[in-house]
Amino acid sequence: MIRYDFSGRVALVTGSSRGIGAAIATAFSAAGATTIVHYWNDPSGQNRRDAEELVQQLQAREQAPPVHLLAADVREAAEVEALMRQVQERCGGLDILVNNAGILRDRSLRKMTLEDWHAVLRTNLDGVFYCCKYAVDILREGGRIVNIASVAGLVGFHGQTNYAAAKAGVIGLTRVLAKELARRQITVNAVAPGVIQTAMLGELRPEVLAEYLKQIPVGRLGTPQDVAHAVLFLASDESSYITGQVLPVTGGWI
C-alpha cells in the first residue's frame, strides 16, 4: 500500500462501524489522520458496539493519532448538523469527509414498497446531501469530499430502482459540488465500487452473487481495503487536480 501521510488532517467517515467504512477509517488512522469513527446508534446497539471496538483497535496501535467516536443518523438533518458542530468543537475543523453510510433494499419495482423506496433515498442520497451541507462550513481550504457511490449508479441492475436512483443522484451531486467548492481548492469525487465483500452482500441471493463473480475479469470479489486504497488516493495531496470524477473500483467489471 502507498504510504500516505495524513498527519495533522482530520477525517470523518460516515457509517464506519463496519464494512467498507471501517476499512477506510482504519486506513486513515494508519496513515496518521485524526479519525472520526461515525456510527448510527441503531436500536439493537450493535453499531455502537462495533464502532467502540474499532476505536479501541485503532487506539491500541503504537503512536496512534487521535480517534473520536461520534453518532448521528444521516437521515436526520438536525443530527447531522449537530455531528458537524461536534467535529468543529473537538477537532477545530475538518479536512476529509467520506460519505460512506448506505443501505440496500432490493426488490423489483412492482414489489418495492414506498417504505423501501424512501428508506434508501433518505439514507443514501438525503444523507449525503445533509453531510455535505453541514460539513462545507467546517471544511478547511484544500479539503476533500469522497462519496461512496456504486456501479449501480452508472449501470442499472434488476431490483435496484431505489438504490440506482440514489447512487446516480450522489454522482450528480458530486459533479455539481466539485464546481461549487473548487475555488476553495476542495475536491469532490466519488468512488463506484463493484461487488465488495461486506455484510451488505448478505442481502443478495447466492445465485446472483455467483453470476456477478463470473463477470469480474480479475476473478475475485473486491475487499473493503480495495475501496479504502482508492479513497485515500482521492483524499491525498497527489489528487488535487482531480475533481468531479467517478472512480470505479470493480476489478475490471462493467
Return the active site residues. 163
* Contact status: 102 vs ligand NAI (CB under 6 A): yes
Q: Which stretch binds ligand NAI (CB under 6 A): 29-37, 57-65, 193-201, 233-241?
A: 193-201
44 near ligand NAI (CB under 6 A): no
Site size toward ligand NAI, by CB under 6 A: 26
Is the Cβ of residue 103 or residue 132 nearer to ligand NAI in the bound state?
103
AA identity, residue 146: V
DSSP single-letter state for residue 201: G
Return the number of the residue (3 or 214) whose C-beta is nearest ligand NAI: 214
State which residue, 64 or 208, has the beta carbon closest to ligand NAI.
208
Candidates 25-33, 67-75, 109-117, 134-142: pick the segment binding ligand NAI (CB under 6 A).
67-75
Question: Order of strands across the sheet with 34-39?
Answer: 67-71, 34-39, 10-13, 94-99, 139-148, 187-193, 246-249
Pairing label, strands 67-71, 34-39: parallel
What's at 77, amino acid-wise?
Answer: A
All three cell numbers of 160: 435496484
Distance CA 91, CA 83 (A): 12
DSSP classification of residue 66: P
Using CB under 6 A as the binding rule, whether residue 20 contacts ligand NAI is answered as yes
Question: Which one of the spans 12-20, 138-146, 177-185, 229-237 is the region binding ligand NAI (CB under 6 A)?
Answer: 12-20
Counting contacts by CB under 6 A, is residue 134 touching ligand NAI? Answer: no
User: How many helices and strands in the chain, by DSSP H and E?
Assistant: 8, 7
153 binds ligand NAI (CB under 6 A): no
Under rule CB under 6 A, residue 105 binds ligand NAI: no
Rounded least distance, CB 40 to ligand NAI, Å: 3
How far is Cα 172 from Cα 215, in angstroms, rounded to an integer? 27
Give the span between the Cα atoms of 28 and 53, in whole angstroms: 17
Cα separation, 155 vs 177, whole angstroms: 22
Q: Rule CB under 6 A: is residue 116 a binding residue for ligand NAI?
A: no
DSSP 124: I
Regarding 103 and contact with ligand NAI (CB under 6 A), the answer is yes
Give residues in contact with ligand NAI (CB under 6 A): 14-15, 17-21, 40, 47, 73-75, 100-103, 123, 148, 150, 193, 195-196, 198-201
